[in-house]
Amino acid sequence: MNEQPDGACEDVAREAHARRGFLVKMAALGLSTALPGAAFSAPPAGRRGGVLRVSVSQAISKINPFQARVISEYLAVELMYSGLTRLNTDNVAEPDLALSWSSNEKLDEWTFKLRPSLKFRDGTACTPGDVIASIKAVLDAKTGSPARQNIGPIADVVSTAGDSVTFKLSTPYADLPTALSHPNAKVVPAAVIARGMDTMARESFGTGPFTLVQFESERILVATRNEHYYDPQRPYLDRVEVKVYPDATSEGSALMSGDIDLMSQVQPTEFARLSKAPRVKALRAASGTFSNIILGCNQKPFNDIRVRQALALTVDRKAMVDFVAEGYGSVANDTPINASYPFFSKQPDKVPDIAQARKLLADAGYANGLTLTLIASDVPSVRTQMAVALREMAKPAGFDIEVQTMPHATYLEQVWRKGAFYIGYYAGQPTIDALVSQLYTSTAAWNETHWDNKQFDALIEQARGTADNAQRQKLYAEAQALMRTEVPAVIPVFFDLLRAHRDYVNNFAMYPRGVLFRLDEVWLAENAPKRT
């Protein structure tokens, strides 16, 4: 998706990284297990009941769990469906439908033991066969799932030992339990999948904590407690209502008035106002969300590393944080990895060096400067702000940049993955491998930069199949240093996750993976509005 200075946000993330080190090591060695209910703790007051109203800023176009794409859709899907694993606040996988898991020594075969007596929302049994059908649906290109390239190198998944499923991988993969926490990797009845994707467009069929009772894409989604949920304590809420507010100011006003209880996203421009509002808690946490300035490494002028390095040296990154993120962010150094990730490697902060940028540009054959057109979608608005800031910062070094802003739909159709110089925007992923394998390896599904670095590919592949965490740290550090040097994209800013809720909302946590909410753990105090 808590008010602290930027450095404090980074310190918190580093402390979380240290705390989770042991858990990451256990998972990588295939030793991660859990007892029934071990992942849960009753809220301090143990209060059940009540209605939680949540706001989202985008329409909920898809509730098919395999096809959800944006925050509002991921929130809806999470209410109604479960996966084998899910992430905790330290970005570590913990049990969901799977009770425990283990791997062989080579890390190319993983077995997940399911919880006993799992049921879908209609009371029918959830079996290994349903898990297998769901994973295969995600992997099927015809499904169109964003998770297809992100849930691991799965060659096959089979039923074993009655209540378990075994994943056979094409290559060793230490991050499989984390990868399977992807918000699209949910479990759906095999019979529903067989009827086709359209079946899930208007109804819910999952094992999640809530079940759908009303759905109007542009206005509201309502879900009530699923009485067949595997944990008898949760959810604590009777009902969740997700309401669509396209206008950020009216959304913030609705929270302040108590018409809604929780904002799923807060724009930086609204955060200060909400921070001062009575009975409102404004929440801020470091996250892996970033904007990247795409440089087409396969064509002039960005096929010359000196041009890419020159542009990177024009950027005042602290000023970018203040201007683009309204101060709610932290400096990035041309890698998409920060301290919210296991195996993050702290690199020296890049500082502007206009003289060196001019020299590099001249050495590349552009002594008289370089004229470029930079394209920015109008959603979110930080893309245009970043483009304008870069235009002004790069001008003294000889870059003459024209900024062209366009509607997001046009950008997706005409520019995304096609253009050579434009502004991207991405949420963080649960692991380094998931992120770079989506965007930066030569075979990445969305390799927008067309960066083709065999050394980088080899480092990522080796780290993917290594169980020893010290060795993985070394490999990932080398990979991050290589990105910082070669600059396939200029990445100046990480955006903090900003959310807010009324003071009677309890046990709501902030997750570095900004698409998670876990509202089944939320409960309302006695002074919450009484709604029916």
Q: How many CB atoms lie within 10 A of CB 7?
A: 10
In which element (H, E) is residue 31 found? none
Are the C-beta atoms of residues 274 and 256 closer than 8 Å to each other?
yes
* Residue 46: per-residue pLDDT: 58
**Using CA atoms, how far apart are residues 53 and 399, in angstroms rounded to an integer?**
48
The CA R_g of the chain, rounded to the nearest whole Å, is 23
pLDDT digits (tens, 9 = 90+) for 159-188: 998 899 999 999 999 999 999 999 999 999
SS3 state at 189: coil
According to CATH, what is the number of the domain 51-279+503-524? 3.40.190.10
Q: How far is CA 231 from CA 126, 128, 354, 423, in A?
A: 14, 19, 59, 43
**Using CA atoms, how far apart are residues 201 and 256, in angstroms rounded to an integer?**
33
Tell which residue, 162, 151, 153, 173, has the closest CA to residue 113: 162
* Residue 409: per-residue pLDDT: 85
* Residue 37: per-residue pLDDT: 34
* Residue 376: per-residue pLDDT: 97
Tell which residue, 422, 446, 424, has the closest CA to residue 434: 446
392 Cβ contact partners less than 8 Å away, ≥ 6 residues apart: none
59 Cβ contact partners less than 8 Å away, ≥ 6 residues apart: 72, 217, 218, 244, 246
**Using CA atoms, how far apart are residues 19 and 14, in angstroms rounded to an integer?**
9
Claim: this prediction has a pTM higher than 0.95: no
Are the C-beta atoms of residues 112 and 101 closer than 8 Å to each other?
yes
According to CATH, what is the number of the domain 286-496? 3.10.105.10
Residue ranges of domains in the chain: 51-279+503-524, 286-496
Sign, CA dihedral 411-414-417-419, equals: negative
Are the C-beta atoms of residues 465 and 174 closer than 8 Å to each other?
yes
* Residue 270: per-residue pLDDT: 92
* Residue 39: per-residue pLDDT: 39
List the pLDDT tens digit at each of the 532 positions of the chain. 322 222 323 233 333 333 334 333 334 333 443 333 333 444 444 589 999 999 999 899 999 999 998 899 999 999 999 999 999 988 889 999 999 999 999 999 999 999 999 999 999 999 999 999 999 999 999 999 989 888 999 999 999 988 999 999 999 999 999 999 999 999 999 999 999 999 999 999 999 999 999 999 999 999 999 999 999 999 999 999 999 998 989 999 999 999 999 999 998 889 999 999 999 999 999 999 999 999 999 999 999 999 999 999 999 999 999 999 999 999 999 999 999 898 999 989 999 999 999 999 999 999 999 999 999 998 888 999 999 999 999 999 999 999 999 998 899 899 999 999 999 999 888 899 989 998 999 999 889 999 999 999 999 999 999 999 999 999 999 999 999 999 999 999 999 999 999 999 999 999 888 899 999 999 999 999 999 8
SS3 state at 496: strand
* Residue 82: per-residue pLDDT: 98
Burial class (CB in 10 A: 0-12, 13-18, 19+), 24: buried
